[in-house]
Amino acid sequence: MAAPEEHDSPTEASQPIVEEEETKTFKDLGVTDVLCEACDQLGWTKPTKIQIEAIPLALQGRDIIGLAETGSGKTGAFALPILNALLETPQRLFALVLTPTRELAFQISEQFEALGSSIGVQSAVIVGGIDSMSQSLALAKKPHIIIATPGRLIDHLENTKGFNLRALKYLVMDEADRILNMDFETEVDKILKVIPRDRKTFLFSATMTKKVQKLQRAALKNPVKCAVSSKYQTVEKLQQYYIFIPSKFKDTYLVYILNELAGNSFMIFCSTCNNTQRTALLLRNLGFTAIPLHGQMSQSKRLGSLNKFKAKESSILLATDVASRGLDIPHVDVVVNFDIPTHSKDYIHRVGRTARAGRSGKAITFVTQYDVELFQRIEHLIGKKLPGFPTQDDEVMMLTERVAEAQRFARMELREHGEKKKRSREDAGDNDDTEGAIGVRNKVAGGKMKKRKGR
């Protein structure tokens, strides 16, 4: 990271922290009327803890380090002060938000546009996987807010004529720990060198790692730390369970759980793109509406999957960790860790997809004979022993035959898809997330899964 300038270590918020009960509205925090109305329209009735702490300080012009658990309203905590300042001094290319993933960039952009729609705020999303030329045109229009992943932003700073960030007033690094874990350190360094020193900087992170501290020293001036959870924690209203199962019966137990908790929306986490795709095909063969979301899908397909799930066209989203952080999918009822995460911190982020904004939710983690040590690490990190999820093993075993048949079809379809990919690069993504593409429903007699009675 760049050498630290005369920047002090962060001070804790100097005034006493305002209690949530005392501050009822965004207006009390100093947010201007037009933005308070926008919050009302979005259904943000009262500020969250991180917003109560961060917004007044940001409006005073302080640099901020925000440490908050996932689902705590971080986007509002930096978007509202930026839009407030933009209203006072309107200017193009006013703020830059750096994020680790494309999906998160689109989501932040949606929030900026929703909050700023009545005041004509324009934002541009600059991420990989999308045509550079159309992005260059968007930048030429000089939007107020740029939301970008570091790599693609550097491309445009180096190659897009006439584009620079010399007038920038605000820099936000969202999920800073993840930006740095993904080795964007050199890109962030380059960006810090070409933007004005005289700016406001907000750094938001779920965890405070050594890399984040180093970044803080390089990028922030006398920052205030706003922490709403000092320890790794999961939301109180989240019910967490585990199921200990032999690894060869994982698929069967997954189908059992989906049947037992039918009527809920599920987010199922797998460790690899291939397993995500395989499991999605398996579930579709059994009549479930399941859609995959993983890194080998094109950007438009990923957004399509996410939108289908958000619109409740599908009740099951299968995802790799690319989708586990920062995505606000409001109606997830159950998170299933089909493959246990190798990094315990990823567990916190995965289960943070449910029980958001005060709602309750369930998280169920599959633990096989190979995962015991990883599971113990997770329990150690969250500081609690998880209860087992009650299952009727004889009912599970009744499903094995149907599941074995569906597994066979899923393998065949994956193989066919792999061969098609080899034959034609252009058609590579066509079968991957449209439900009708493979006509799978008709292959397994009986369509929709039903619990079977004993033979």
Residue pLDDT, tens place only, 410-450:
999 988 887 777 776 554 444 444 333 334 444 444 444 44
Does the residue 232 lie in any domain?
no
Summarised one tens digit per residue, pLDDT across range 293-314 is 887 887 788 888 888 888 888 8
Residue 451 has pLDDT above 60, yes or no: no
Judged by average pLDDT, the poorest of 149-158, 179-188, 283-292 is 179-188
Q: What is the CATH number of the domain that holds 210?
A: 3.40.50.300
Q: Give the pLDDT confidence score for residue 440 in this predicted structure.
A: 40
Do both 102 and 79 map to the same domain?
Answer: yes
User: CB-based contacts of 294: which residues, under 8 Å, 6+ apart?
Assistant: 273, 276, 277, 302, 319, 320, 322, 323
For 108-173, where are the E strands, in sequence order? 123-126, 145-148, 170-173
Tell me how crowded residue 445 is: count the other CB atoms within 10 A of its CB: 7
pTM, whole model, 2 decimals?
Answer: 0.60
Asked if residue 213 and residue 299 are part of one domain, the reply reads no
- pLDDT (0 to 100) of residue 376: 92
Task: Give the separation between CA 361 and CA 23, rounded to whole angstroms.
Answer: 27
User: Strand pairing partners for 200?
Assistant: 170
Q: Say if strands 224-227 and 334-337 run parallel, antiparallel, or are unpaired.
A: unpaired
Q: Is 241 helix (H, G, I), strand (E, B) or coil?
A: strand
Looking at the fold, whether 206 and 335 belong to one and the same domain comes out as no
CB burial of residue 393 (10 Å; 0-12, 13-18, 19+): exposed
Do 322 and 175 fall into the same domain? Answer: no
364 forms bridges with which residues in the sheet?
241, 336
Domain count across the chain: 2
* Rounded-to-integer distance, Cα 370 and Cα 195, Å: 48
Q: State which residues form the domain around 139.
A: 11-227
Per-residue pLDDT, averaged over 48-62, amounts to 91
| Residue 421 in domain | yes
Bridge-based pairing of strands 64-67 and 95-98 is: unpaired
Which of 192, 227, 262 represents a domain boundary (last residue)? Answer: 227
Helices (H), 286-333: 299-310
Better-scored residue on pLDDT, 340 or 342: 340
Secondary structure letter of residue 155 according to DSSP: H
Residue position matching structure tokens 């058609």: 427
Opening angle at CA 135, ends 132 and 136, nearest 5: 85
Helix axes 185-194, 210-219, angle to 10 degrees: 10
Domain boundary, last residue among 166, 195, 227: 227
Which amino acid is present at 171?
A: L
pLDDT number for residue 218: 79
CB-CB contact of 144 with 112 (8 Å): no
**Do the Cβ atoms of 202 and 171 come closer than 8 Å?**
yes
**Rounded distance, CA 366 to CA 268, Å?**
11
If asked whether residues 321 and 194 sit together in one domain, one would say: no
Distances in Å between the alpha carbon of 328 and those of 71, 74, 164, 369? Answer: 7, 11, 31, 33
| Segment (H or E) for 226 | strand 224-227
Report in angstroms the alpha-carbon separations of 348 from 105, 114, 225, 265: 21, 28, 22, 19
Kindly report, residue by residue over 78-129, the tens digit of the pLDDT: 999 999 999 999 999 999 999 988 888 998 999 999 999 888 999 999 998 8
Average pLDDT in the chain: 82
